Structure 1
Amino acid sequence: MRLLVAALESELVAFPVELEGFDRLVTGPGKLQAAYALTRALDAAPYDEVVVVGTAGAIDPLLSASVYEIDGAIQHDVTDIDGIVGQHVSLPPRVDLERDGVTIATGDHFVDDAEAVEVIRPLGAGLVDMETYAYIWVAQQFGVPIRVLKAVSDRAQDGAITDWHATVAACSRKLRDRIRADYGV
């Protein structure tokens, strides 16, 4: 059995409530809610794979409005004791999935301004979201394989939240099509 995970119900609007071979988990937004909900789910039942779907802002101007496989995650909203942005005091600076894909920068706020993008982009990510680092870290602690698919909903610039609201349903349809193609359900 696989676990289909999304931060928000709206990211799953195109998915049937019952999807053969998958349980479903909506965690809520942000790293803490993501870590808590996924930890509870993985502690309660054995899963063969965690499959995360959701939206992300594109901070790499070369990324189109498509669905991307995530190859790893960093945190853009942490600073270590030496003041180095992107370095956590006790967590690894990057969690890897050993897949070909795009790196995502996770933080506990919705990125929607050009100045924030200019700070995050040099950290090496092409996308931003609010949960992926936590999902990957938790799944790895449980030894459960994890796959993350993200649909670009906005450009993480001024007005991005308006763009997100306008595109989340279309992103969900793209993600549903990808799951159908990759898993045959």
Structure 2
Amino acid sequence: MKLLVAAHTSELVAFEDALPGFVTLLTGVGKIPAAYALTRALSAAEYDEIVVVGTAGAIDPELPSGVHEIAAAIQHDVSDLDGIVGQHVFLPARVDVAAEGVMIATGDHFIDDADAVVAIRALGARMVDMESYALAWVAQEFGVPIRIFRAVSDRAQDGATEEWDDAARVCSGWLRDSIRQHYGV
């Protein structure tokens, strides 16, 4: 059995209530709710694979709209004792999850500011979200394979928060098609 994970109900509107071969987990938005929900789910049952679907802001202007598989996740809202942004005091700076794909920067606030995009882009990420790093780290701690699919909902610039609700519905359709393509369900 696979665990289908999303943070927000809007990201699942195009999905059936019961997807064959999958159990669905809604985590809530942000790193802590995501880590907590996934830890509880993995403590209660065994899964062959975790499949994460959701939205993300594209901070690379060259990144096309659509669904992208995540290769690695970093955190853009932490720094170590030396003040190096993206480095955590205890956690790894980067969590790798796939051989190919996009690097995503995770943080606990919605990015919709051009200056923030420039700063985060300098860390090497092409997308931003609020859960991927936490989910990838928990999956690795439990030894469960994880795939993360993120659909571009916005360009993380001014006005992105106002556009997200409508964009999430469109992204959900793209994500559903992606799961159908990759898993045949």
TM-score by length of 1: 0.99
SS at match of 2:156: coil
Instruction: Give, as a single letter, the amino acid of the residue that structure 2 aligns with 1:77.
Output: D
- State percent identity of aligned pairs: 68
State the alpha-carbon separation in 2 of the partners of residues 140 and 161 from structure 1. Answer: 31
Instruction: Give, as a single letter, the amino acid of the residue that structure 2 aligns with 1:69.
Output: E
State the alpha-carbon separation in 1 of the partners of residues 79 and 142 from structure 2. Answer: 26
Deviations along 1:74-118, whole A, 9 cap, x unmatched?
000001000000000000000001320000000000001101101
State the alpha-carbon separation in 1 of the partners of residues 67 and 98 from structure 2. Answer: 18
Equivalent residue, structure 1, for 2:127: 127
Q: CA deviation at 1:143?
A: 0.2
State the alpha-carbon separation in 2 of the partners of residues 98 and 37 from structure 1. Answer: 22
Instruction: Give, as a single letter, the amino acid of the residue that structure 2 aligns with 1:54.
Output: G
State the alpha-carbon separation in 2 of the partners of residues 134 and 36 from structure 1. Answer: 9
State the alpha-carbon separation in 2 of the partners of residues 99 and 153 from structure 1. Answer: 24
State the alpha-carbon separation in 2 of the partners of residues 155 and 109 from structure 1. Answer: 15
Equivalent residue, structure 1, for 2:11: 11
State the alpha-carbon separation in 2 of the partners of residues 22 and 165 from structure 1. Answer: 25
Equivalent residue, structure 1, for 2:171: 171
Equivalent residue, structure 2, for 1:59: 59
Q: CA deviation at 1:73?
A: 0.1
Superposition misfits of 4+ residues, deviation over 3 angstroms: none
Equivalent residue, structure 2, for 1:106: 106
State the alpha-carbon separation in 1 of the partners of residues 166 and 175 from structure 2. Answer: 16
Query: Any stretches of 5+ residues in structure 2 without a counterpart?
Result: none
Instruction: Give, as a single letter, the amino acid of the residue that structure 2 aligns with 1:123.
Output: L
Contact 2:10 2:165 in 1 (8 A): no
SS at match of 2:53: strand
Equivalent residue, structure 2, for 1:79: 79
Q: CA deviation at 1:31?
A: 0.2
Deviations along 1:23-78, whole A, 9 cap, x unmatched?
00000000000000000000000000000000000000001111000000000000
Equivalent residue, structure 1, for 2:33: 33
Query: Any stretches of 5+ residues in structure 1 without a counterpart?
Result: none
SS at match of 1:82: coil
Q: CA deviation at 1:164?
A: 1.3
State the alpha-carbon separation in 2 of the partners of residues 132 and 64 from structure 1. Answer: 19
Contact 1:70 1:99 in 2 (8 A): no
State the alpha-carbon separation in 2 of the partners of residues 126 and 162 from structure 1. Answer: 21
SS at match of 1:124: coil
TM-score by length of 2: 0.99
SS at match of 1:156: coil
Q: CA RMSD in A?
A: 0.6
1:117 aligns with 2:117: yes
Deviations along 1:140-174, whole A, 9 cap, x unmatched?
00000000000000000000112212211010000
Contact 1:74 1:106 in 2 (8 A): yes
